[in-house]
Structure 1
Amino acid sequence: MATVEKHGFKRDSAGDFIGEFSVTQSCEPCMKTNVSKTATFNCNDCDEFLCDACKNPHTVYKGGKHDIVKCRDRKSVPVGVGMKGLDICQEHDKEIEFFCHDHSKLCCSKCLFIHRKCDHLDDINNESGQKRHELHELKQLFIKLKSDADAIIAQCKKSELSLDGSVAEISSVIDTMRDRIIKLFEDAKQKLLSGAIDFKISEVRRIGNKLEAASKLKEEILKELAMFCDILENGTPIQQYIYAIKFKEKLNTVELNLNKQDAINISSIVTVSFPKELTTLLEMGNNFIQLHCGGNKTVGIQSHKRIISTLANHP
């Protein structure tokens, strides 16, 4: 079993500690008995804090010279910190005094019995000075971790602001696309109406020509019918014979002209049609818009983008 030697309890400068620990000056002999009392004196020779009750026993029962001064008179007084129970053994509720390297465990005097056969058991009073450099390194590591945490927090806040902005922009993007589609429909409507009006003017002209030609033929037919009736009732047989020959020739001419007018096709209605992509879009209902979260599509189907693009760029 490794031998251990108990030395006086020491405290390093509180200026090397940061965080939530509050700086205090406690009586060290009292702390060894788990009693917390404020130190009012310090022995410069022993580098030990003392309360009023422990001052005299310290000089009487502890050998050597003792330069005892009041704490406020000491130019550089090392102070302790409230350890929030970190310096107390959780198993035995006693002050931690040793460190077992074999088990990497902080130990109190009762733990010493369990670790008595360990090969590397140190009194932390002897080894504490060696940890100062390591504590500085740990402090720098924690400062680096704090910096990393700050970076993550800043990134989270930036992402949240970006998310707020992108969500707010959705309405504007949709409104822009809606306005483009409405303009597309309005332009198409005006173009179609203009074409329909031009077509109507053309067809009305053709209808007028056909109507005029048919009306003239009708007048000619009525004229011939009147002549036909007069000859039939009042004409002589010779007149009737001659007119019958002439009427056959006239009948063929009129019939030929009527057939020619009848063969002229006139459009009486006009209609419109829409692209298949548009009817497909209408069948989709309100699911035709896609939502992308982090680059992934979460709403809608892949063909929607093609449909929207077709509508937006349709001539």
Structure 2
Amino acid sequence: MATAGLRDSDRDTAGYFIGECSVTQSCEPCMKNNVSKTSTVFCKDCDEFLCNACKNPHTVYKAGKHDIVKCQDSKSLPAGVDMKGLEICQEHGMEIYFFCHDHSKLCCSKCVLTHRKCDRLDEIAKAFEQKRPNLQAVKQSLIKFQSEADAIIEDCKHAESGLNDSIAKISSETDAMRDLLKKLHEDAKQKLLSEAKQFQTLEVRGIGNKLDETYNVKEEINKEVSMCCSVLDRGTPTQKYIYAMKIKEKLNTIESNLNKQHSINSSSSMTVSFPREITTLLEMGNNFIKLNCDGNKTGIL
């Protein structure tokens, strides 16, 4: 049977019990019997207000330890707290006094009108007595969640700091790679120029020898041209015949020497080539460096 039809006096008493615990409190066991009796003591372990008559049965028949203090000792009693609006019904803007077990809903006096046919509708004080919430467990859960939140915050700060450090490290590593490539390029260049100069020296020496030999052959040719012209212009028939016979051997020698110099190849230029790996790297442009991160180990961003 629902208890929604509570008398106004009982409702006031309940509200008085909940909202003004720092003033006069009613004995909770007496309230269960619809008796209004002012409490004189408070059991801190059971969180319950008691009158003098109920104090002894409470300590004798109720299991557990009982830390009993006088209600006048206000420092020992639980103080009211600012609930920050939690005690107000969000639907009607009125203070909450009841709990509907059927719908697991906290109710104000207006909500009671909607839940008056529910089988289990109790005052907050009665609902609290029937099933006291384990706020210590709630507190431990909150402390655990607080610790987890702190850990997440610490992880975020660590991740953010790590990202900042990574930026500096990436810059340092790429600069180091640039310096290494620059040094490698400079060393390769100096080696290449050294080889080129050595080749040039050998080629110039060969060109000089070829030039000298050719000049000698040309000087000999010039002599024979002069002699041939003289014989043709002023020589006797006998001289012409003798010269014609003699020059055959000379011509063979001159031709042989010229052919020999023709056969000697002389380089007039040098070029440089790069391995395919270098050209492939250049073709990649600024994508030749990859950024690796936790969620993208191999992809290029």
Whether TM exceeds 0.5 here: the answer is yes
Equivalence for 1:221: 221
Q: State how far apart, in whole Å, the 2-side matches of 1:258 and 1:110 are.
A: 127
1-structure distance, mates of 2:98, 2:18: 15
Give the secondary-structure state (helix, strand or coil) at the position aligned to 1:291: coil
Counterpart CA distance in 2 for 1:156 and 1:75 is: 43
- Tell me the TM-score normalized by structure 2: 0.72
Secondary structure of the residue that 2:240 maps to in structure 1? helix
Decide which moves more: 224-233 or 209-218: 224-233
What is the distance in 1 between the residues matched to 2:3 and 2:187?
Answer: 98
Q: Assess, with a 3 A threshold, how the Cα gap between structure 1 residues 160 and 75 changes in structure 2: closer, same or farther.
A: closer
- The CA distance in 2 between the partners of 1:110 and 1:169, in whole Å, is 65
- The Cα of 1:168 is off from its aligned counterpart by 2.2
- Aligned counterpart, 2:179: 179
Measured at CA, do residues 156 and 133 of structure 1 come closer, stay the same or move farther in structure 2, by a change above 3 Å?
Answer: same
**Mean CA deviation greater in 90-99 or 199-208:** 90-99
Indicate how the Cα distance of structure 1 residues 139 and 224 shifts in structure 2: closer, same or farther if over 3 A, else same: same
Q: 1:191-217 CA distances to partner (integer Å, 9 max, x unpaired)?
A: 211111111111112111111211111
State whether residues 100 and 122 of structure 1, in contact with CA within 8 Å, keep that contact through their aligned partners in structure 2. yes
1:123 corresponds to: 123
| Unaligned residue ranges in structure 2 (runs of 5+) | 26-37, 43-52, 54-69
Instruction: Say how many residue pairs are matched.
Output: 255
| Cα separation, partners in 2 of 1:205 and 1:75, compared to 1, 3 Å | closer
Q: Is the 8 A contact 2:97 2:123 kept in 1?
A: yes
Alpha carbons 2:99, 2:127 under 8 Å: kept: no
Q: Is the 8 A contact 1:87 1:95 kept in 2?
A: yes
Q: Equivalent residue for 1:250?
A: 250
* Displacement of 1:188: 1.9
Tell me the alpha carbon deviations over residues 135-159 of structure 1, each in whole angstroms, 9 at most, x when there is no partner: 1111111111111111111111111
CA distance in 1, matches of 2:295, 2:97: 58
Relative to structure 1, the CA distance from residue 96 to residue 248 in structure 2 (aligned partners, 3 Å threshold; closer, same or farther) is same
Partner amino acid, structure 1, of 2:103: H
Q: Which runs of 5+ in 1 are unaligned?
A: 13-23, 30-42, 48-63, 300-315
Shift of 1:250: 1.0
How far is the alpha carbon of 1:246 from its aligned partner?
0.5
Q: Distance in 1 between matches of 2:273 and 2:87?
A: 86
Letter in structure 1 aligned against 2:118: C
User: Structure 2 matches for 1:142-221, cutoff 5 A?
Assistant: 142-221=142-221
Cα 1:228–1:103, aligned 2, differ >3 Å: closer, same or farther?
A: same
Superposed, 1:13-162 pairs within 5 Å as 26-27=22-23, 45=40, 74=74, 76-129=76-129, 132=132, 134-162=134-162
Please give the secondary structure, in 2, of the residue aligned with 1:167: helix
Amino acid at match of 1:273: S
Mark the CA change 1:91 to 1:256 in structure 2 (over 3 Å): closer, same or farther: closer
Structure 1 residues 59-94: Cα deviation after superposition (integer angstroms, max 9, x where no partner): xxxxx9xxxx995x5562332222223223334444
- Supply the distance in 2 between the matched residues of 1:28 and 1:149 (Cα, whole angstroms): 41
Displacement of 1:118:
1.5
Q: 2:24 and 2:112 mapped to 1: Cα distance?
A: 21
Which amino acid letter does the alignment assign opposite residue 77 of structure 1? L
CA distance in 1, matches of 2:104, 2:284: 67
- Give 1:305's aligned residue: none
Normalization by structure 1: what TM-score? 0.69
Q: By how many angstroms is 1:102 displaced?
A: 0.2
Show the 5 A alignment for 1:269-288: 269-288=269-288
Could you say what secondary structure the match of 2:214 adopts? helix
Distance across 2 between alignment mates of 1:252 and 1:208: 24
CA distance in 2, matches of 1:264, 1:87: 110
Cα deviations across residues 5-61 of structure 1 (Å, max 9, x unaligned)?
A: 74665469xxxxxxxxxxx974468xxxxxxxxxxxxx65276xxxxxxxxxxxxxx
